[in-house]
Amino acid sequence: MCTSRLKALFRKFAPWGLGLAFVGLGCCLVGLPSRVAADDGAPKKTDSKEKAPKDTPPGKAKPTAETAPDGDSSEDDAKPAEGAGKKPAEKKEAPEKTAKSAPPVRIVPRQQTLVGKPDEVRITQGALKIINSKLQEAWRENKVQPSHYVDDHEFARRASLDIIGRIATSEELTKYLRYPAPSRRPQIIEDLLAHEDYPKHWGTMWANWLLGRSGVFGRGTYHDGLTVWLEDQFAQNRTYDKLASDLITAKGKNTENPQVNFILAHLGEQNAQGKRDQEGQFEMVPITSRITRLFLGMQLQCAQCHDHPFNNAVTQKHFWGVNTFLRQVEREGTPPAETMRAMTYPVLTLKENTKANSEGLVYYEKRNGVILPTKATFLDSPKPTDSASIARREMLANYVTGHDNFPRALVNRIWSAFMGVGFTTPIDDFNEQNTPALPELLNGVATEFKQYGFDQKRLIRWICNSDMYHLSYSANRTNEKPEVNGLFSRMQLKSMSPEQLFESLMVATKSEATESKDSKQQLRATWLNTLVTSFGDDEGNEVNFNGTVVQALLMMNGSDINTAITRAEKGTVAVAMARNKGVPARVISDLYIAALNRPPRSGEVATIVKKMTMRLKDKEPIAPYQDLFWALLNSNEFMLNH
């Protein structure tokens, strides 16, 4: 939005308060609030004369017996999460005459009817029994009251963002809410798992995990090639063990087998020409740590130069033993330099040269200066008897996918993606000083995941149907502290990734209907380059993308968003005006559903309509609704996954 339009908007809405506080934009300009809200983000009491509707989002009113597992009906239910923003001022309480004991933890299990084939329902029921029972046991043992359950609108938005990478469309919401109540949410989950956007979202997620977001392989042709290959794997619901094995053993040209880009992106330094016969073409240090971090949740890079400082079970020999499996990898072709402006991407080929490093030895230096050799050994696993007949990387893939940490690492990673926190922090570092929260739960789910074929869709189905996934992000006095986050008694607030933000804006503004596939791809690439450049990344590793003031300003002043909002024919605002014949309450409702996936509450509608009459007179009747929609898209409720 241009500066003149921005100034005009604030002038028109001056009576509403700076930053359009009624949709939380004021909070957006000064920092993220502690709550998701369409107003100032503060907890509100339900007026005694007007009861809050049943679809009230979390934190806006006290949870009812039907929607809340927590027995504490005090305003502490609406307290913000620790670290999510500034806490409201605490009220001074009168001293009590007698000490009161903490109320007992009250858990009300959700009632639902699973859908699907009988065998699949049976498998899901078994996994849910493990998850729900272990969590309930932990909540009671630690005297932690879980937050209340969210309503159907909130759930549909959350599940859509997590499973297919964007908010729901208005049409999808209408369809979802028509499902029978007992099976509504399980059916929504099944619809999303079968959606065409599921493989696109998870292809993007895994490409970023495998390649990062920066550098030659972090964006552009090489990144896109692996993303498309991953989309195809997820469209086939390829099992996780086979997916990992393909990535570790891949060979060939990256134009024909894009999965080779995973290893090609992390080769490390080249060895001197005279040493390549003995040591291989590359040192292969980055890919050694990348494989163990991603697939085993072990950060072996800490043991490259010395024994692991936090994990006594990991030594230098373990790092270089894994590294030896990779020393016969060779690359043909040279990727472009990162400093090139007009980057061209030559074809690269990954080969296996069995003559290189034929002895299978790698030498490493201890901190005391002693040089020691190691053969290809995988941690403390025994060497297979038929090792001579198996290529080294195939042997490595077998070791990785057969390791006890393999299913645990994936469960931890996917769990964190859905819940906002995993069993460990960070999620890819199991060690003696970073033991998992609720290890019995992690091991139980990992065992089920392995037993039923490393099926990612099944794992997602289990997580999304569990009681914990339906909990609000609102904290109460028992679960507001970070140290109890590992009990999963509430949802964590999550910033949208750049990809989720882009796709959600396309859906909310109905821009996809007017864009060709090629133009959308170009627009998406430009958008991601702007956001990722602005916010940076973690040295090529997984990005923790957090909404900031810069993000808010980019969105508010973005010409693409302004164009999408003011589109005369197929734009969301224009369609809402035509469909509802300009009736304010109906137009406002359509805009709320399109942007926030929920209808406005009666108090919000009344406030907006009242304030619209206080604006300077607009030339076009549609103008105030365009400004309202712009403000909704820039609100924290839109930009956060809650």
Q: Please tell me the distance from the alpha carbon of residue 259 to that of residue 255, in angstroms, as a whole number.
A: 10
Asked if residue 453 has pLDDT above 60, the reply is yes
**pLDDT band at residue 516 under the 50/70/90 scheme:** confident
Strand-strand pairing, 361-365 and 349-352: unpaired
Cis, bond preceding 426 (omega within 30 deg of 0)? yes
The more confident residue out of 2 and 464 is 464
Mean pLDDT of 499-520: 82
pLDDT of residue 498: 86
Among 174-188, 358-372, 417-431, name the one with the lowest average pLDDT.
Answer: 358-372
Taking the whole predicted model, whether its pTM rises above 0.85 is answered as no
In this structure, what DSSP letter does residue 389 have? G
**pLDDT band at residue 470 under the 50/70/90 scheme:** very high
**pLDDT band at residue 10 under the 50/70/90 scheme:** very low
Asked if residue 538 has pLDDT above 60, the reply is no
pLDDT of residue 103: 81
**pLDDT band at residue 553 under the 50/70/90 scheme:** low
pLDDT of residue 536: 41
Asked if residue 85 has pLDDT above 70, the reply is no
C-alpha distances in Å from residue 321, one per residue of 165, 289, 374, 405, 608: 39, 12, 6, 18, 66
pLDDT of residue 525: 79
pLDDT of residue 61: 36
Q: What integer best gives the mean pLDDT of the chain?
A: 82
Q: 142-167: per-residue pLDDT in tens?
A: 999 999 999 999 999 999 999 999 99
pLDDT of residue 515: 66
Among 126-135, 252-261, 378-387, 505-514, name the one with the lowest average pLDDT.
Answer: 378-387
β-strand partners of 541: 538
Mean pLDDT of 570-599: 94
pLDDT of residue 558: 67
Tokens of 423: 């069993």
**pLDDT band at residue 277 under the 50/70/90 scheme:** very high
Mean pLDDT of 126-138: 98
In this structure, what DSSP letter does residue 34 have? S
Mean pLDDT of 60-65: 36
| C-alpha dihedral (250, 251, 257, 259), degrees to nearest 10 | 30
pLDDT of residue 391: 92
6 C-beta neighbours (distance < 10 Å), count? 15
Among 21-30, 239-248, 269-278, 604-613, name the one with the lowest average pLDDT.
Answer: 21-30
370 in Cβ contact with 317 (< 8 Å): no
pLDDT of residue 554: 60
Among 71-85, 255-269, 503-517, name the one with the lowest average pLDDT.
Answer: 71-85
Q: 227-257: per-residue pLDDT in tens?
A: 999 999 999 999 999 999 999 999 999 999 9
Q: Please tell me the distance from the alpha carbon of residue 409 to that of residue 427, in angstroms, as a whole number.
A: 8
Q: In sequence order, what are the residues at sequence separation of 6 or more whose Cβ sits closer than 8 angstroms to the Cβ of residue 632?
A: 23, 38, 591, 592, 595, 596, 638
SS3 label, residue 290:
helix
Q: 301-310: per-residue pLDDT in tens?
A: 877 776 766 6
In the chain, the percentage of residues whose pLDDT exceeds 90 is: 61
283 in Cβ contact with 269 (< 8 Å): yes
**pLDDT band at residue 511 under the 50/70/90 scheme:** confident
| C-alpha dihedral (631, 632, 635, 639), degrees to nearest 10 | -130
Q: 316-326: per-residue pLDDT in tens?
A: 888 999 999 99
pLDDT of residue 387: 61
Asked if residue 268 has pLDDT above 50, the reply is yes
Mean pLDDT of 8-20: 37
Q: Please tell me the distance from the alpha carbon of residue 121 to that of residue 115, in angstroms, as a whole number.
A: 7
pLDDT of residue 533: 57
Mean pLDDT of 525-553: 54
pLDDT of residue 59: 35
Place of tokens 């690359």: 331
pLDDT of residue 388: 65
Q: Please tell me the distance from the alpha carbon of residue 248 to that of residue 449, in angstroms, as a whole number.
A: 21
Mean pLDDT of 113-137: 98
Mean pLDDT of 172-189: 98
**pLDDT band at residue 42 under the 50/70/90 scheme:** very low
